[in-house]
Amino acid sequence: MTIPFTKAHGAKNDFLLTWEVDAPRDGLPRAACAICDRHTGVGADGWMLVRAVARGTADYDAAIRLFNSDGSEAEISGNGTRCAAAFLFDTGLIAGDTARILTGAGIKSVRLIERKGLAFLFEMNMGRPAVADGELRLPLPLKAGVREVTALDVGNPQCAVFVENFEFDWRALGIEIEAHPHFPKHTNVSFVRPVDEHTIEVRFWERGAGETMSSGTGSTGAMAAAVLRGAAKSPVRVLTPAGPIDLRWEDDIYLTGPAEIVAGGEFYF
């Protein structure tokens, strides 16, 4: 069968979007692996199935399911949800300036700040983070010894690891932490280097996708961990390999970041 897709990226964290009615009825994890493969497929960090709802029939405009490139299903992606918002605005489904999108972590509100063609700038309500197990400084036993981390829930599981620099094999450490027994459903991992009281630099190892250039939920978890541990103050600019992402913490955390539609076509599955 053929699977139509639109490709978009949020700060170089890339996703493929397909209307749910156009996706296979069975074998979605296998389809996700195939379409996201960067050698034999289209290539992306994740694949999203989008379902529209009739106006006035629900508290949201559309619903999304997110599959990682390894076929596993994730609750939410901040960058991915902005990509879905760009897709919805571009198709004309959204009449105003705010998209309400049902994710696996609940309804998320995404407000359009600016649009230039297929490039969008959004502000997204990321919700309120929660410290996992109520322990802000969690001693995590690892192969090289015990390392202090901060585990949070921002709609998906996050583990923030504070570092002085990135001159070590943080990818290998990300692999180990992601699958650590303390995280039975695995976790996303962010390596956080405080720069000043309003700036942090971060590297991302994402559950089910591996290294990514940026991450919306990862940036949210890293910012929350930095603020809670006194390493930063809101607002915070997160420096990612793909460029800066800005967050502020009021009652909820709000993230401002881009999304851009870059391609469309059909995948033969």
User: Strand 98-103 vs strand 62-68: parallel, antiparallel, or unpaired?
Assistant: parallel
Which pLDDT score, from 0 to 100, does residue 167 have?
97
Residue 150 has pLDDT above 90, yes or no: yes
Dihedral of alpha carbons 2, 214, 189, 234, sign: negative
Indicate whether 148 and 245 sit together in one domain.
yes
- Tell me the two tokens of residue 251: 């009652």
The per-residue pLDDT for range 93-119, each reduced to its tens digit, is 998 999 999 999 999 999 999 999 999
> What's the structural domain count of the chain?
2
Which pLDDT score, from 0 to 100, does residue 133 have?
82
The per-residue pLDDT for range 115-132, each reduced to its tens digit, is 999 999 999 999 999 999
Indicate whether 185 and 212 sit together in one domain.
yes
Q: How many CB atoms lie within 10 A of CB 186?
A: 17
Q: How many CA atoms lie within 13 A of 8 on its CB side?
A: 25
Which CATH number do you get for residue 29? 3.10.310.10
Residue 134 has pLDDT above 90, yes or no: no
Give the C-alpha separation, 165 to 237, whole Å. Answer: 17
Indicate whether 97 and 171 sit together in one domain.
no
Where are the extended beta strands (E) located within 90-156? 98-103, 106-116, 119-127, 130-131, 138-142, 145-153
Across the chain, mean pLDDT equals 97
Indicate whether 137 and 240 sit together in one domain.
yes
Residue 55 has pLDDT above 90, yes or no: no
> What residue numbers bound the domain in which 25 lies?
2-123+257-268
Amino acid at 183: F
pTM: 0.94
Q: What angle do CA 180, 186, 187 make, to 5 degrees?
A: 95
Average pLDDT over residues 7-22: 97
Indicate whether 146 and 114 sit together in one domain.
no
Average pLDDT over residues 196-208: 97
Indicate whether 136 and 117 sit together in one domain.
no
Indicate whether 137 and 222 sit together in one domain.
yes
The per-residue pLDDT for range 254-265, each reduced to its tens digit, is 999 999 999 999
Indicate whether 153 and 232 sit together in one domain.
yes
Indicate whether 140 and 197 sit together in one domain.
yes
Indicate whether 213 and 246 sit together in one domain.
yes
Residue 78 has pLDDT above 90, yes or no: yes
Which pLDDT score, from 0 to 100, does residue 95 have?
84
Which pLDDT score, from 0 to 100, does residue 178 have?
98
Report yes or no: 208 and 74 within 8 Å, Cβ to Cβ: yes
Indicate whether 10 and 108 sit together in one domain.
yes
Consecutive H or E run containing 81: helix 78-90
Residue 54 has pLDDT above 90, yes or no: no
Residue 41 has pLDDT above 90, yes or no: yes
Average pLDDT over residues 48-61: 91
Which pLDDT score, from 0 to 100, does residue 65 have?
98
Average pLDDT over residues 143-165: 97
Residue 92, CA distances (Å) to 52, 61, 125, 173 in order: 11, 12, 22, 43
Average pLDDT over residues 56-70: 95
Indicate whether 16 and 119 sit together in one domain.
yes
Given pLDDT bands bounded at 50, 70 and 90, which one contains residue 57? confident
Residue 34 has pLDDT above 90, yes or no: yes
